[in-house]
Amino acid sequence: MTNASNIPLEIGGNQEFRIIGPRRCGKTALMAALARWPNARTDSPILSIEPYNDEAGELISMAQDILEDGRELAGTRFEDIDEIKTYSLLITLKAKFLNHPLAALRDKPIRMRVSCREYSGELFTELRNMSNCSSHLSDYLDDCASASGLLILIDSTAKKSAEREYAQALDNLQRELNERLTINNGGLQNYRIAVVFTKCEQPPASGYWQNIPTFMGLNFPTVKTTFTKWGNTWGCSINYFFCSTFGTKGTPPKPNFKKNKNEKATYGVIDKPRIWRPLGLVAPLYWLATGKEDDQLRDTV
Ligand X SMILES: Nc1nc2c(ncn2[C@@H]2O[C@H](COP(=O)(O)OP(=O)(O)O)[C@@H](O)[C@H]2O)c(=O)[nH]1
Residues in contact with ligand X by the rule CB under 6 A: 21, 23-29, 72-73, 75-76, 121, 198-199, 201-202, 244-246, 257, 267-268
Question: What sign results for the dihedral spanned by CA atoms 98, 101, 105, 111?
Answer: negative
CB 249, min distance to ligand X, A: 12
Nearer to ligand X, 21 or 149 (CB): 21
Residue from 19, 31, 62, 76 touching Mg ion (CB under 5 A): that is: 76
Nearer to Mg ion, 98 or 270 (CB): 270
Nearer to ligand X, 97 or 122 (CB): 122
Dist. CA 101–CA 237, nearest whole Å: 20
* Residue 237 contacts which entry, ligand X, Mg ion, none (Cβ below 5-8 A, type-dependent): none
Residues with Cβ within 8 Å of residue 141, at least 6 apart in sequence: 173, 176, 177, 180
Residues with Cβ within 8 Å of residue 121, at least 6 apart in sequence: 21, 22, 23, 24, 25, 27, 75, 76
Nearer to ligand X, 48 or 202 (CB): 202
Dist. CA 53–CA 87, nearest whole Å: 7
Nearer to ligand X, 125 or 190 (CB): 125
Residues with Cβ within 8 Å of residue 14, at least 6 apart in sequence: 88, 113, 114, 115
* Residue 29 contacts which entry, Mg ion, ligand X, none (Cβ below 5-8 A, type-dependent): ligand X
CB 188, min distance to ligand X, A: 27
Burial 73-91 (b: 16+ CB within 10 A, else e): beebebeebeebbebbbbb
The yes or no reply on residue 300 touching Mg ion (CB under 5 A) is: no
Dist. CA 47–CA 224, nearest whole Å: 34
Compute how many residues bind Mg ion; rule: CB under 5 A: 3
* Residue 45 contacts which entry, Mg ion, ligand X, none (Cβ below 5-8 A, type-dependent): none
CB 236, min distance to ligand X, A: 24
Residue 274 burial (CB count, 10 A): 9
Residues with Cβ within 8 Å of residue 68, at least 6 apart in sequence: 38, 270, 273, 276
* Residue 115 contacts which entry, Mg ion, ligand X, none (Cβ below 5-8 A, type-dependent): none
* Residue 284 contacts which entry, ligand X, Mg ion, none (Cβ below 5-8 A, type-dependent): none
Nearer to ligand X, 157 or 239 (CB): 157
Residues with Cβ within 8 Å of residue 22, at least 6 apart in sequence: 121, 124, 125, 153, 154, 155, 158, 162, 166, 169
- Using CB under 5 A as the binding rule, the residues of this chain from 11 to 40 that contact Mg ion are 27-28
CB 216, min distance to ligand X, A: 18
Dist. CA 139–CA 120, nearest whole Å: 13
Nearer to ligand X, 72 or 165 (CB): 72
CB 232, min distance to ligand X, A: 28
Residues in contact with Mg ion by CB under 5 A are: 27-28, 76
